[in-house]
Each structure stands twice: as C-alpha cells, then as structure tokens.
C-alpha cells in the first residue's frame, strides 16, 4: 500500500469506521486466544434464561451458560475460520492463477481453468456436504471445503492481471537479462498484484464467516467450541418461544463485524483504484 492510498483511505470516514470495527474485533479475538476473554464459554454459571444483569451482561442461555462469554468466544472462532480460509485460498489462488496467467494458453493453463470450471460448477453447500461426507465428521472438513472452492475467484483475477502485466516492458527487460520464468513471476509480476489480493482477501474473509453460519445451521460447520453460527442455529428454535438472548447477541455482533469488513473493503477498493470516478 502506498502513501497516497493510505491518505485517501484516511479521508474516507466510512472506511475508517470500518477499519476501527475490524481492529476492535481483532483485539477481542486476540484476547480470547491468549486467555483474557471468553474463557468461561462452556461453564454453567447461572440458571436457565436469566435476564440481563451485572454478572450476566447478555443474560444466560437454556443451559445457564453466559451469553456474553459465548459471544466473545464466537468472535475468535469467526477470526480463526476467516484467517485459515482466507490465507490458504488466497495462497492457492495466487499460485495457480499466476501459473495459468504466465503460461496462458498452454496445457497447464487449460488444466487449471478446467479445474476452476469444475469446482465452480458444483453448488457450494452441496460440495461442503460432499466433503463432510467423504471425511466423515473431520473437524477441518468445513475449512477444507471452503479453501478448495474459494481459490477459484482469486485465481481468475490473478490470471487476468498476470496476463496484462506480462505484456509490460519491465517484464520484457527482466526476461531479456535472462531471469528464469519463475523468478520473474514471483519477484516482478506478483508484487504488482498485491493491492488486488488485499481487496480479495477482505472479501473472502467476509464470505467465509457468512458461510460458517449457514454450514453450522445445516450441521456441517463447527464441531467443537462455539460460534455465532451455532448460537444462531440454537436461537432458531428459541425465538418462536420468545427467548431472544442468543439471537440478539450473535446476530448483532455478526452484523457489526461484517459491516466493518464491508465498509473497509469498499473504501480500500476506492483508495486503490486511481481511475475510479466515484463519490
């Protein structure tokens, strides 16, 4: 990210509030990981359905567990899923997209495009179900399904970008002095796609967190621990009976976090795009 990008980003009020929200949840997730917050998410600390009080800020759930503790722990779960899925799928998409773009119209490109076409053709939730089915209850089945399918968008974008960049003169110069293809790709082509990858990463992060909610509801998601998706799945039975504690805590936190990421992504996109004529 260059200095001008940062200047432009700083001028965007919505983008900065998005960034603040993201930072807030990052701090919460880190605190859970190092053991400062949310450690009592599974212990029964009160009666069933206690209302809001000084000891239970968000009340308790059916089993008497503290909803605030579970919500805080859920933030860490969301970050864990987001980081793992984003990291691996962006990495995979970048490598495969760069190879396809650099060796475009070769057999390697054809194979990567074919693989992408195949994975894009299977509806995601069915694919996740199939992976869960094949791995028979493995706790990483959900992460794996997301990584295997989410890289394709990144690969498509990187492929197009690499095909565009490799026409440029500085690439021709790098090849003319005799650098091997791989070196040129990783040292000279890919660094020029970092801004696109950054935007793509924030998008994948949001999609991963939203997907976890649906998968957890369908029984294909998180198996140990607690997530906002599991809290919402529980609450779908409870709201009809008038218990809104779980639902409010999970849905509001989820909304604020996703909103933060979406606002930040939009602002980042605007700040990085020099040609864009936007408000």
Smallest distance from other proteins to CB 254, Å: 6
**Residue 272 binds other proteins, judged by CB under 8 A:** no
**Inter-residue contact 32 to 42 (CB < 8 Å):** no
H-only helix segments in 34-140: 67-102, 107-121, 124-135
Q: Please pick, from the candidates 35, 178, 180, 242, the single residue that binds other proteins as defined by CB under 8 A.
A: 242
Q: Which two tokens stand for residue 238?
A: 């409870």
Q: Return phi, psi of residue 16, to 5°.
A: -70, -40
Q: Is 183 helix (H, G, I), strand (E, B) or coil?
A: helix
Could you tell me how many residues of this chain bind other proteins (CB under 8 A)?
Answer: 49
- The residue among 31 and 104 lying less far from other proteins, judged by its C-beta, is 104
Q: Which residues contact 68 (CB under 8 A, 6 or more apart)?
A: 56, 57, 58, 249
Give the nearer residue to other proteins in terms of CB position, either 150 or 171: 150
- Kindly tell me which of 177 and 240 has the beta carbon lying closer to other proteins: 240
**Tokens 């859970």 belong to residue:** 32
Q: Does 115 bind other proteins (CB under 8 A)?
A: yes
Stretch in the footprint of other proteins (CB under 8 A) among 36-44, 86-94, 97-105, 110-118: 110-118
Q: Which of residues 215-234 bind other proteins (CB under 8 A)?
A: 217-220, 229, 232-233
Continuous segment of H or E residues that includes residue 32: helix 13-33
Contact 278, 25 (CB under 8 A): no
- Considering only the stretches 2-10, 43-51, 55-63, 126-134, report the one whose residues sit in contact with other proteins under the rule CB under 8 A: 126-134
Assess contact for 222 and 212: CB atoms under 8 A.
Answer: yes
Our finding on whether 126 is near other proteins (CB under 8 A) is: yes
Interacting residues with other proteins (CB under 8 A)? 114-115, 117-119, 121-127, 129-136, 206, 210, 213-214, 217-220, 229, 232-233, 235-236, 239-240, 242, 244, 247, 251, 254-255, 258-259, 262-263, 266, 277-279
């Amino acid at each position: 990210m260059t200095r001008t990008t940062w200047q432009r980003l700083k001028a965007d009020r919505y983008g900065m509030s998005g960034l603040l929200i993201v930072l807030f949840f990052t701090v919460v997730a880190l605190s859970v990981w190092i053991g400062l917050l949310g450690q009592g998410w599974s212990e029964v600390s009160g009666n069933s359905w206690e209302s809001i009080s000084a000891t239970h800020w968000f009340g308790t759930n059916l089993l008497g567990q503290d909803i605030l503790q579970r919500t805080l722990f859920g933030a860490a779960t969301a970050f864990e899923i987001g980081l793992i899925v984003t990291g691996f799928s962006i990495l995979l998409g970048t490598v495969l997209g760069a190879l396809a773009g650099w060796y475009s119209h070769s057999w390697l490109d054809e194979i990567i495009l074919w693989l992408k076409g195949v994975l894009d053709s299977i509806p995601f939730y069915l694919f996740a179900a199939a992976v869960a089915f094949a791995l028979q209850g493995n706790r990483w089945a959900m992460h794996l399904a997301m990584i295997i399918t989410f890289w394709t968008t990144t690969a498509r974008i990187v492929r197009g970008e690499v095909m565009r960049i490799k026409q440029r003169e500085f690439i021709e110069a790098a090849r003319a002095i005799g650098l091997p293809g791989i070196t040129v790709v990783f040292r000279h082509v890919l660094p020029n796609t970092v801004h696109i990858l950054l935007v793509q990463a924030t998008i994948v992060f949001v999609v991963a967190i939203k997907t976890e909610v649906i998968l957890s509801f369908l029984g294909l998601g998180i198996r140990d621990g607690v997530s906002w998706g599991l809290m919402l799945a529980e609450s779908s039975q409870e709201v009809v009976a008038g218990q809104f504690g779980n639902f409010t805590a999970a849905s509001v936190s989820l909304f604020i976090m996703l909103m933060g990421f979406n606002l930040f992504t939009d602002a980042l996109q605007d700040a990085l795009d020099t040609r864009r004529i936007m408000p």
